[in-house]
Amino acid sequence: MNARAARNVSWFSWIVIVIGAIYFLAPLVGTFAYSLTALRDQLSFAAYQRAFADPKFVESFVYSNLLAVATIIASVLLIVPTTYWVHLYLPKLRPVVEAISLLPFVIPAITLVFGYIRVYSRPVDVLGIDLIPPLLSTSASTNIVLVAGYTVLSMPYMYRAVDNGLRAIDVRRLTEAAQSLGAGWGTILFRVILPNLRTALLSGALLTFAIVVGELTLATFLGIPAFGPYLQQLGQHKAYEPSALTIVSFLLTWVAMVLISFVTRGDTRSAAGTH
Amino acid sequence: MAQTAVVTKSGAAFTLPRVRTIFITWLGVIPFFAFAFLFLLLPSSSLFIESFQDTQGNFTLANIVGLFDEPIRSGYIASIEISAFTALVGGIFGFLLAYAVTLGGLPKWVRSSYVTFSGVASNFAGVPLAFAFVAVLGRTGAITALFKNVGINLYDIGFNLYDFWGLSLVYLFFQFPLMLLIMIPSLEGLKPEWREAAANLGATQFEYWRRVAFPILLPSLLGTMILLFGNAFGAYATAFALTGGRLNLVTIQIGAQIRGDVLHNPNLGFAMALGMVFIMFVCIIGYTLLQRQTERWLR
């Protein structure tokens, strides 16, 4: 490519980039500016102070963070041993596990929660025997359904992260070496495999965190007082506090993604999210 | 006598551990399949079965046929329109962005900041996203006010954040970044040798793109646009937070159906959910097939 063509290309690119930047930054800058105008005739962080002072905010935000932690633990405990096992003993099963882990892309959250309400509002019976009690009848067991649902939503990301991580190490040799040194399964999983998957798990966990904190659909329809429903409610009757919390949510997502790009050293696909 | 005993003994010694190994091998994946069954397959198959039943539990196709009646029909059409529109616009401009940051000859920091930002934006959806746009382009939003100061009332000249075009504008906030993130590896997979070979044969920049690069990228472009379609089609939270359920999308209709049987027929509601899953399924199949086409050329 000669110098003049290169200059043309780069002019065109600059225009595209600037249009994109305006589109992306305007809502954020505008929301931030708006959130500072809660007091008449002066800029202040009053909206933030008021938002944080609301006990319901603290409650729902802490709650959502706990849900995120529970989801990450459940997801790791479910995905890591399974993926490891499949890599080692059942490689033929890999396409099946992969297909299942991608199913959440096919089943939107709204239909998933519809199915949960349909199935778990009453006991699940097999041949007339109640195998599972109606999980949605108490708030404690509703939380189980919610965390399970979030685990489902996180599965595509978590599976992909762990699968890539396991492909990068020689699972069989590591396992055999550990076994020959007398390690049991617990030791192998927790002291050999997990440490080798640190990067993969960290990016999977951060992405899960970004999905769960602020999630609306599942939490609303299962009636859980999480941060997403709280924020949506707040938007109905307040003006400045929702903008303040919007900026906070954005910053949290941003921190999570910067950490991901830091641990994965910029693999672009690892951060792509879908809804 | 002694002989048979040996045979049984050795036979048992050979088969028993093998059966046990197979059993243990499968035992390792049971938790995953049990979980997938309980929280993925059972709920969706229950929707599937009930879609083909009437309220008495008899088999019927009436619910599927009912999807083509109002108001469900227009809900599907609205959802498909908004998904197709944002997939097309998001796909084209997202591709241009990906092109600009990879092959556009820009400084490195542009690429890295766009990639990081896209990771954030593609995950920044739902309630906060809707609120950000309301704060800027809502009736009292910052930009709306800015225009008012120079004498232009956006809402008088036909702009409305809470209608089809407004929601599209909001959806694009997560469509562009998703396109960008998926297209960057494809664009980087274009080998410089191809461009050099084309140039040696006398091709101009435009001819290289039209005859070489674009045909190679086309499956990936289309595939990713299908993914964007599905991405918008399944979205509920953003639309609900922005319009409070006034816009007639399938997801919003399903939400209303869950809150209280607005269709006065629960099974029709299940069929509506099934229809969504069907469309998403077709999307994923299309995406997978096209992505496979891409991989033949790129790396």
Q: Which two tokens stand for residue A255?
A: 């921190």
Task: Look up the ipTM and state it.
Answer: 0.86
Q: What letter does residue A126 receive in the DSSP assignment?
A: E
Of B97, B116, B199, the CB nearest to A257: B116
Give the range of the structural domain holding residue B88, as residue numbers without chain letter: 66-297
Amino acid B119: pLDDT: 83
Of B216, B95, B115, B195, which is closest to residue A6 (Cα–Cα)?
Answer: B195
CB B123 within 8 A of CB A207: yes
List beta partners, residue A132: A124
Q: Do A112 and B131 touch (CB under 8 A)?
A: no
Residue pLDDT, tens place only, B100-143: 988 888 888 888 888 888 888 888 888 999 999 998 898 888 88
Amino acid B3: pLDDT: 40
Of B225, B212, B195, B197, which is closest to residue B290 (Cα–Cα)?
Answer: B225
Q: B109 exposed, middle or buried (CB, 10 Å; 0-12, 13-18, 19+)?
A: exposed
d(CA B44, CA B273): 9
d(CA B202, CA A201): 49
How many DSSP H helices and E strands does chain B contain? 15, 0
* Residue B53 in domain: no
Number of domains forming the structure of chain B? 2
Instruction: Look up the CATH superfamily of A36-107+138-271.
Output: MetI-like (1.10.3720.10)
d(CA B233, CA B237): 12
3-state helix, strand, coil in chain B (%, to 5): 80, 0, 20
Positive/negative CA dihedral, B29, A152, B183, B293: positive
String of b and e for A199-230 (b: at least 16 CB within 10 Å)? bbbbbbbbbbbbbbbbbbbbbbbbebebbbbb
* Residue B208 in domain: yes
Instruction: Compute the average pLDDT of residues B154-177.
Output: 89
Amino acid B69: pLDDT: 80
Q: Closest approach of chain B CAs to the CA of A79, in angstroms?
A: 7
* Residue B61 in domain: no
CATH of the domain at B244: 1.10.3720.10
List beta partners, residue A129: A126
* Same domain, yes or no: B116 and B236: yes
Amino acid A9: pLDDT: 66
Picking from B120, B179, B184, B291 by the largest number of A CB atoms within 10 A of its own CB, the best residue to mutate is B120
- Rounded (10°) angle between helices A240-264 and A198-212: 170
* Same domain, yes or no: B113 and B253: yes
Of B185, B205, B254, the CB nearest to A111: B254
**Residues of B numbered 205-224 whose beta carbons fall under 8 angstroms of chain A's beta carbons: which are they?**
205
d(CA A192, CA A166): 12
* Same domain, yes or no: B35 and B114: no
* Residue B173 in domain: yes
Q: Does any CB of chain A come closer than 8 Å to the CB of residue B153?
A: no
Q: Do A111 and B255 touch (CB under 8 A)?
A: no
Spell out the per-residue pLDDT of chain A, length 275, in tens: 455 555 566 888 899 999 999 999 999 998 998 888 888 888 888 889 888 988 999 999 999 999 999 999 999 999 998 998 898 888 888 889 988 988 888 899 999 999 999 888 888 777 677 777 777 778 888 899 999 999 999 998 899 888 888 888 888 888 888 888 988 888 888 888 888 888 888 888 888 888 898 899 999 999 899 999 999 989 888 888 899 999 998 898 888 888 877 777 655 555 565 55
Nearest residue in B to A146, CA atom: B39
* Same domain, yes or no: B163 and B32: no
* Residue B59 in domain: no
CB A160 within 8 A of CB A218: no
**Radius of gyration of chain B, Cα coordinates, nearest whole angstrom:** 27
Strands A129-132 and A124-126 come out as antiparallel
* Residue B260 in domain: yes
* Same domain, yes or no: B94 and B178: yes
Q: How confident is the model at residue B11 (pLDDT cuts 50, 70, 90)?
A: very low
Q: Does any CB of chain A come closer than 8 Å to the CB of residue B44?
A: yes
Q: Do A250 and B124 touch (CB under 8 A)?
A: yes
Residues of B in contact with A78 (CB under 8 A): 31-32, 35
d(CA B17, CA B145): 77
d(CA A41, CA B205): 55
* Same domain, yes or no: B194 and B79: yes
Question: Considering chain B, what percentage of its residues have pLDDT values greater than 70?
Answer: 92
CB A216 within 8 A of CB A149: no
* Number of inter-chain CB pairs under 8 A, A vs B: 289
Q: Indicate the pTM of the whole model.
A: 0.86
List beta partners, residue A125: A130
**Residues of B numbered 232-271 whose beta carbons fall under 8 angstroms of chain A's beta carbons: which are they?**
233-238, 240-241, 244, 251, 254-255, 257-258, 269-270
**Residues of B numbered 180-209 whose beta carbons fall under 8 angstroms of chain A's beta carbons: which are they?**
181-182, 184-185, 195, 199, 205
